Structure 1
Amino acid sequence: MSYFLVFLGILGVFAGLILLIIGLIKKKKMKGGLVLGISIVAFIIGFIMVPTNSTESTDKSKEKEKVETAVKPKEEAPEDKTTREKKETEEKALTEQKAKEEAEAKVKAEEEARLKAEQAASVAVTWQNKVKEIATMNGTSTEKYDAVMLYAKDYPSTEDEIKEFEKYIITEYKSKNYVADINNAEYMLSNIFRANVINRFYGEVQSPINNFAFDFYQNTKYTYRGVDTLDSSAVRSNERQMDKALKQMGK
């Protein structure tokens, strides 16, 4: 627009000058002066607007260049790309490892919860009920003995319970009741169970109570199954060992 006004201003100046000269020659009043004045004004306005428009255009170009620079992604150097890809790979591996560990921890927690629930359920059924169930089942004394031993193998005893078992078998031995009724399956199997659980609790530890429980278990087991008689040398020998253990315990 500004250039157009400048162009019109120049044409107007020439036209105004021509009309002014013709008017002077012919001595007629013509509008050359008016045209000349308007043209000069238009020329001046257009000339002033040219730098302004040019500046605005330059500013717009610079702004556009800035926007394009901001939008256009910076070209990545090969070494930077390698570093970035390596970092991304490591982060991905760490994420996968973390997810794997969390999954394994969840499975482990679920398995532990299941085992605890099973243990709680097994303890809920008292050992007395289990031994009674075995004692009343059809089968030989050896079969019943084997069933009790299998149950005792995984029985989750406590320290307080062990102390109770120890006190009981010592009392039964000293009263000589422990082999008084070898045909009473429930009683004999209960004593076998108690003595064996005590031995399993102490393991290979050589102590008076552990030795006493072992000899008590031997006599109870073999007399119940009919392997030894009450007056056999093996039974008497084990009783002498039990007496020795009681003396060591001050019982």
Structure 2
Amino acid sequence: MKKMICAAVFLGLILAGCQKSNEEVAGTSEKNVKTEETSSQKENSQSQDKAEASDDVEGVWLAKGQEDGIPSTWYFHDGQLVVNYNNDFFYEVAENKDAKGYTVMTIKNQNGKKHALLLKGEGKELEGVTAENQAYEKYLADGTVPDGQRIEFSLQENSWGSVDQAINFWEKTYKNTDNEISKNMIWENYRKDLWGLVKDRTSGDTITLHFTNIGGAGGSYAQLVKHGETTEITAFDGNASYPDNPFERYTVRNSDYHVVKTEVLWKK
């Protein structure tokens, strides 16, 4: 009888020990799960912060000083900044915003000189201020934001950002062998650097280019107008025909540079 009682007591102790051990394991497991969840949540939070740190600046922006109201066109694309269609710079956007909530863009000119563009805002409207020369050095040293003129940036859809962008579109259209106009091109007489911008006929969705013949005498004009999924190229055959007597107009599909419509204008 004593043996049976001892055995029962011993079995009870074992079961109690097992239950306690299981509870400890469960508690430890639950604690680990909570720790993993906390770490995961923290990582996700940090990841979201980084994702929101830099404003998306890719595209064509109309910039205007709040005080002087002078407009200019800024085209940000793949690390290259083009101002007013021709002036090239390089830019790099910082991964995180600075302590005052600015997206920091370092801009470098062709000579390697740097300054900063500090941006705030969301979506299609941004406000910026530039830090140049001593103001740039002070900003790098202690984060002081210059008390200069603020610049308002508005994203422009269907706008041209640079001469190169327009020339590349023109070239791809004329080199597309599915287009009839490709058969009339003599590429031996063509040089990309002979194109120039016609400033007074360029704005927003319209850019006008002049091509100077290799010999220097004469030339022709091309005007490109963006329309969502298509672009119109109006050709002027010879200097004398511009701007009142266009030769032909081609409606080009942007996705593959295919001419979907040709208008013969010189007969009208």
Question: TM-score when scaled to structure 2?
Answer: 0.27
Larger radius of gyration: 1
- Larger relative contact order (Cα-Cα within 8 Å, sequence gap ≥ 6): 1
Structure ranking higher in strand proportion: 2
Specify which structure has the higher proportion of helix: 1
